[in-house]
Structure 1
Amino acid sequence: MKKCLIVFLLILTTAFAFAQDKQAILHVLETQRQAWNKGDLETFMQSYWKSDSLLFVGKSGPKYGWQTTLDNYRKGYPDKAAMGYLTFDILKVDILDKGNAFVLGAWHLKRAKDTPEGYFTLWLRKIKGVWQIVADHSS
């Protein structure tokens, strides 16, 4: 009986921790969305791992590095009008283990002349207690 109680408590504790992690990840994405909609790329980029190993895969293929990613965002979205208004549809958040997660979602931009949209997959890693995007594949 005591073993069953211990196993049950471990399962319950793990489930609670995963639920907290999922909420923290959703908060990361919401913080990004809000920063984007303010035209604030620097704050938007704080959710990315500040490393030369950060991986971003877009239509021009894989690129590495936090600064490279920021520079590419600045080039592709030079002003608030180009950035438009961003919304996400989060389709899946999988906590893989206590330090890694996978997110699948859709992004939508509303701009004066068009409404581009696509999908993204993110690999997030908990680094020093904070969930950060270490790989982003957006199309």
Structure 2
Amino acid sequence: MKKVLILFLFIATYSFAQETNIADDKKAIITLLTAQKDAWNNYDIETFMEGYWKSEELKFYGAGGVIKGWQSTLERYKKSYPTKEHFGKLRFVFNDISKINDGAYSVMGEYHLTRKVGNTNGIFMLILKQINGEWKVIADTSAKVN
């Protein structure tokens, strides 16, 4: 009986620790994405890009196809959003944040851009990975819905 109780306590403690880690991971991911939103709203593309993995392995998939690499993704953003008016005011809605495995999550959500040059809305799916203790977007799929 004592062994069963010890096993039960171990399982309960392990489960609680797992749930706590997941909650902490989700909080850190939301913090990162909120910092990206704030940078975007301050017309600061360089700070916005700090949330992405600075690697040639980064992938961005949008209407123009797959773009590979951090620098190419930065150039795509600069071309698609050439002025402050094109940046506008960004708002995110996070619809799902799910653990893929230890150190990796998917985030599904919506983006809403309010702009003088015309509002735009869309959906996204991000894959984030913990790299050197920091969460980074390693893949971004975004699509306009209006």
Q: TM over 0.5, yes or no?
A: yes
In the other structure, the counterpart of 1:101 is 105
* Superposition pairs of residues 1-139 of structure 1, within 5 angstroms: 1-139=5-143
**Which amino acid in 2 is paired with 1:50?**
K
Higher alpha-carbon Rg: 2
Please report the TM-score for the alignment, with normalisation by the length of structure 2: 0.93
In structure 1, distance between residues paired with 2:17 and 2:44: 37
Residue 133 of structure 1 aligns to which amino acid in structure 2?
V
Deviation at 1:95, TM superposition (A): 1.7
Q: TM-score, normalised by structure 1?
A: 0.98
* Cα displacement string for residues 100-123 of structure 1 (whole angstroms, at most 9, x for unaligned residues): 000000001101131111000000
User: 1:10-54 CA deviation, whole Å, 9 max, x = no partner?
Assistant: 010010000000000000110000000000000000000000000
Asked if the contact 2:86–2:117 (Cα under 8 Å) also holds between the matched residues in 1, the reply is no
Q: Percent of counterpart pairs with the same letter?
A: 38
Counterpart Cα distance in 2 of 1:58 and 1:42: 20
Q: State the shift of 1:97 in Å.
A: 2.3
> Is contact 1:100–1:123 with CA below 8 Å preserved after alignment?
yes
Equivalent residue pairs, number: 139
> In 2, are the aligned partners of 1:18 and 1:98 still within 8 Å (CA)?
no
Partner Cα separation in structure 2 for residue 25 and residue 113 of structure 1 = 30
Q: Give the whole-Å Cα distance in 2 for the aligned partners of 1:63 and 1:29.
A: 20
Q: Letter of the aligned partner of 1:88 in structure 2? A: F
Contact 2:85 2:117 in 1 (8 A): no
SS in 2 for 1:47: coil
**Is contact 2:61-2:67 (8 Å) kept?**
yes
Q: Aligned-pair RMSD on alpha carbons?
A: 0.7
